[in-house]
Structure formats: C-alpha cells, structure tokens
Amino acid sequence: MSTIEMIPISQVRLLNPRLRNKARFSEIVSNIEAVGLKKPITVSPRPEEPGTYDLVCGQGRLEAFTALQQTSVPAIVRPLPKHDCLIMSITENVTKRRSTSLDLVHELRTQRDKGRTHAQIAAELEMSPSYVSMLLRLVDNGEDVLLRAVDGGHIPIAVAADIATSNDASIQESLTEAYVSKRLSGKALLVARRLVERRRGIGKPGTTPARTRSKCTTEELVQAFQKECRRQKRVAKAARVTEIRLVFVANAVKRLLADEHFLTLLRAERLDTMPEYLAEAVRSAT
C-alpha cells in the first residue's frame, strides 16, 4: 500500500543515477521554486537499513529540492522488491527523456557495469539481445557520432555497428557519408572498409600509425569498391571462358572414347585408364 510522506532527503539513495542536462535541470528548479512540487517523488523503504529509502522515480525533483536547500521532500512510499525498483528506475530514465540511442546506450552500459548480461537487460527492457549488443558495441567504441546518425534516421543501427568495427575515425566518417549519400550500402560498405583497411595496412605490425596516415575520403572508399567490382567481373569472365574450354575438351574426349579404333590405340599404348574423377567428368559431359 502506498502512502505520501515528507521524508529526509539525506535518507534517499539513488539506485540508478544519471547525468542531467543543465538547462533542463535549471528549468525544473525554477518551476518548483515558483509553484511548488506538483508530483511527489516515489521511493521504496530499504529493509536492510530502516529509515532509509531507494529512489524509484524523481531524481530531477529530488536534486532540485536539494538545490533549493530543502531538507525533506514529499514522497510516495511504496514497498517494492529491490529488483522492481531498479527496473522502474531504468524505465523512467529511458522513457522520460527524448528517446535517443545515445541516451539509451549509456543507460544500458550502466546496467551492464552493474553485472547484468546483455540477455538480462534485453529481457527486462523488452529488446532483442542482438540490438542491445549492437548498441553497447557502439558506446564501447565511443561512437557518439554514429549514434547521433542513428538517432537522426540517417543510418540503421546494424549499419552503424558494422561501421564501428573500423578503428580508423576517417574511415568511419567516410563510410557514414557514403551510406547517407547512397553511394554505398549493404555489403558494399563492408567490402569497401576491408579493401581500404587492407590497402592502408591497418592492424598489421609495423604499419603507419593512424595519426600519421592521410585521411580516408568517401571517394577513396567508392573507388576501392568499384575497382574490386571490376576485378571480380574479370575473374568471373575468365572462369566462364575456362569452364567453356573444359566442357569442350571433355566432350571431345567423350567422343574419342566412343571410337573403337581410338580405344584400341590407347590399349596398345597402355593408356586406356584414367583417374575416376576424370572419367566421371567425361561421362557427365553433354
């Protein structure tokens, strides 16, 4: 059962603290100072420490009261299991802000740092484990630029995660620009990244440090991919010519082996046998 009480601010513990936008916080303080607190914070008693509480909802309001030099705050007191308090706190942090990947991944990292697995976080926030893993990969690599691109709807999260696998900032920037400008997409992005990294020797011992390499451009990525496409077309064409020639040879041998006089000549020279895989190729020739 919930009750509303005035509780000492010093007795409230933050379960899931987060940084707050300074402008937004100043607005909260001004509003409370002008018209008072419209909605009490929500807390849950801590059985292990009688007289203390876990904060469930209302970190901004609590900090505003502290900034206004208040010693107590109106609170809805709801006895809840510690696990439920944590989940409610996470949900409030994620949903009450502008819903952005940048906000969300920092929230996810906080929970992971507390020992929760990707699967546990995904289940509690009703997300797929793969989505949680991709977001955390981005924040682990410090890819705020990519996350903002995701938030702006410029690139999908999966593409951003693929781009983040490059440890060269200029390559990441060029890949993002190539995708946004629709010059490269899908697997083409990954192919272009691998080609440019291979050419620049990224990751190989004794190669030029990233800070002294020339900046990778979008044009360099596109040209590398187009060059690889032309090379693969040449290889495919050469393979097709070779296939045609082999089929011609197999058919010719098949026709010769159907000639009894030719077989007699082969027997006389003791050349009337061949490896089974060659014999099968001749038999299947059309």
Per-residue model confidence as pLDDT tens digits over 115-139: 888 888 777 666 677 777 777 777 7
* Tokens standing for residue 178: 């190539």
CA distances 76 to 96, 148, 186, Å, are 18, 36, 50
- Does residue 96 register a pLDDT over 90? no
- Does residue 211 register a pLDDT over 70? no
Q: What is the pLDDT of residues 218-265, one digit of tens each?
A: 888 888 888 888 988 999 999 999 989 988 888 888 888 888 888 888
* Reported pTM: 0.43
Q: How many helices (H) and strands (E) does the chain have?
A: 13, 5
∠ CA 12-117-132, rounded to 5°: 100
Rounded to 5 degrees, φ, ψ at 31 are -65, -45
Rounded to 5 degrees, φ, ψ at 152 are -80, 0
Give every CB contact of residue 101 below 8 A, 6+ residues apart in sequence. 135, 138, 147, 150, 151, 157
Residue 203's SS3 state is coil
Q: Which helix (H) or strand (E) holds 171?
A: helix 169-180
More confident call, 181 vs 244: 244
Q: What is the mean pLDDT of residues 188-195?
A: 80
Q: What is the pLDDT of residues 216-225, one digit of tens each?
A: 888 888 888 8
Residue 75's SS3 state is strand
